């Protein structure tokens, strides 16, 4: 599988509610990082993160939930590293 980036925007009535991206790795896993009002994020200092395998099964990080909010840049970097090496 080829790796790729995708950009995400959630806009309603010309107002941007969230912004983010996903990364698909050669191992078939995807990680999504979302920032904004409709994500578990303050829009500036932290982000919402979710990851899943090629079959759509969520990766459960520490805490055991499918989607993890309020993650710092260091937290997100660690999660990207974990998912890219699965």
Per-residue pLDDT 10s for the chain (86 aa) are 788 788 887 777 787 767 899 999 999 999 999 998 788 999 889 999 999 999 999 999 877 789 999 999 999 999 999 999 99
Instruction: Quote the CA–CA distance of 25 and 12 in Å, as a whole number.
Output: 30
- Per-residue model confidence (pLDDT) at position 29: 97
- The structural domains of the chain, with segments of one domain joined by +, span 4-84
């Amino acid at each position: 599988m080829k790796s790729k980036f995708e950009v995400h925007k959630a806009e309603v009535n010309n107002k941007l509610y969230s912004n983010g991206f996903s990364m698909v790795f050669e191992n078939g896993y995807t990680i999504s990082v979302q920032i904004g009002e409709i994500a578990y994020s303050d829009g500036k200092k932290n982000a919402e993160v979710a990851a899943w395998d090629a079959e759509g099964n969520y990766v459960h990080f520490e805490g055991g939930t499918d989607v993890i909010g309020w993650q710092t840049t260091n937290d997100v970097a660690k999660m990207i590293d974990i998912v890219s090496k699965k």
